[in-house]
């Protein structure tokens, strides 16, 4: 786990990691949130809606932004203040995602960093675009 | 689970539910995301940072917006396109959260609804403010 101080966080710094979305992750997310929507549980339902099969929860994919901030950028001193996220393409269980972020701006008064994030699948397709405001505590 | 059609989704419609954040939820979220940040795992670390004890993951709280859309508003026909969320106050394991949303706008061309969401704790304090753009499929 990184433990960058605010001073060490310069604009342009990038961090990334990869993670696979498993069926077990889907089940755990469903259990935690109570989101039993069939798009994420029923292959037949998802195919009827035009997908290859059941689709990963968008907010599960977005949850990797928690890891991006809390483990990598800045790591230990992370306190996420806000997140904006846009879901661009479906993610399927089994997909391997590359999660990356780059510092675009800083606010010295409040020790804030602004991070532009993106998540791509194993085909290189951008599946999520995000922005985070993080206080370095 | 609700299964509202786009036509049934009128501006002003509200839905809400309550959920308790448990230690098991924290553990599951940590396992799924790989976010081992000590703010969410170590009471002593969190107290040193000025909190009552370990703090729930912000993106775990935000994940209840998945349920708000996928089960309630509109329910079965939900396809979340984007989410904006701001974390206003810390959430602690054991807190009971009231998650609510209201349709503020519609887009007939793309069958979109825009939902203003908020999450309050058992003391009535607003802990999260959010906005969702959801396609009704």
**pLDDT means over runs of 10, chain A (137 residues):** 96 98 97 97 97 98 98 98 98 98 98 98 98 97
- pTM here is 0.97
Which pLDDT band, with edges at 50, 70 and 90, does B79 fall under?
very high
Q: Phi/psi class of residue A130: alpha, beta or left (left: φ > 0; alpha: ψ in -120 to 50)?
A: beta
Average pLDDT, chain B: 98
A32 in reach of chain B (CB within 8 A): yes
- Region B111-130: mean pLDDT is 98
| 3.10.129.10, 3.30.9.10, 3.90.850.10, 3.40.50.2300: CATH of A6-136 | 3.10.129.10
- C-alpha A21/C-alpha B34 separation (Å) is 12
Which residues 51-90 of B are in CB contact (within 8 Å) with A?
Answer: 57-60, 62-67, 70-71, 75-76, 78-87
Q: What pLDDT, on a 0 to 100 scale, did the predictor assign at position B80?
A: 98
For residue range B60-74, list pLDDT tens digits in order: 999 999 999 999 999
Collect all residues of chain B within an 8 Å Cβ-Cβ radius of residue A40. 70
A125: three-class secondary structure by DSSP: coil
Arithmetic mean of pLDDT, B14-27: 98
Q: Which two tokens stand for residue B136?
A: 């009704």
CB of A102 less than 8 A from some CB of B: no
For range B52-58, the mean pLDDT: 98
- Taking residues B120-125, what's their average pLDDT? 98
A135 within 8 A of A81, measured Cβ to Cβ: yes
């Amino acid at each position: 786990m990184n433990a960058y101080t605010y001073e060490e966080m310069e604009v342009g710094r990038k961090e990334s990691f990869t993670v696979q979305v498993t069926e077990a992750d889907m089940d755990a997310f469903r259990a935690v949130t109570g989101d039993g929507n069939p798009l994420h549980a029923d292959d037949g339902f998802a195919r009827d809606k035009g997908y290859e099969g059941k689709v990963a929860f968008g907010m599960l994919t977005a949850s990797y932004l928690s890891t991006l901030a809390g483990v990598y950028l800045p790591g230990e001193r992370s306190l996420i203040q806000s997140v904006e996220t846009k879901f661009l393409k479906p993610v399927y269980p089994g997909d391997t995602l590359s999660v990356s972020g780059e510092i675009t701006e800083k606010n010295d008064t409040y020790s804030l960093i602004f991070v532009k994030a993106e998540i791509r699948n194993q085909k290189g397709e951008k599946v999520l675009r995000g922005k985070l405001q993080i206080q370095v505590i």
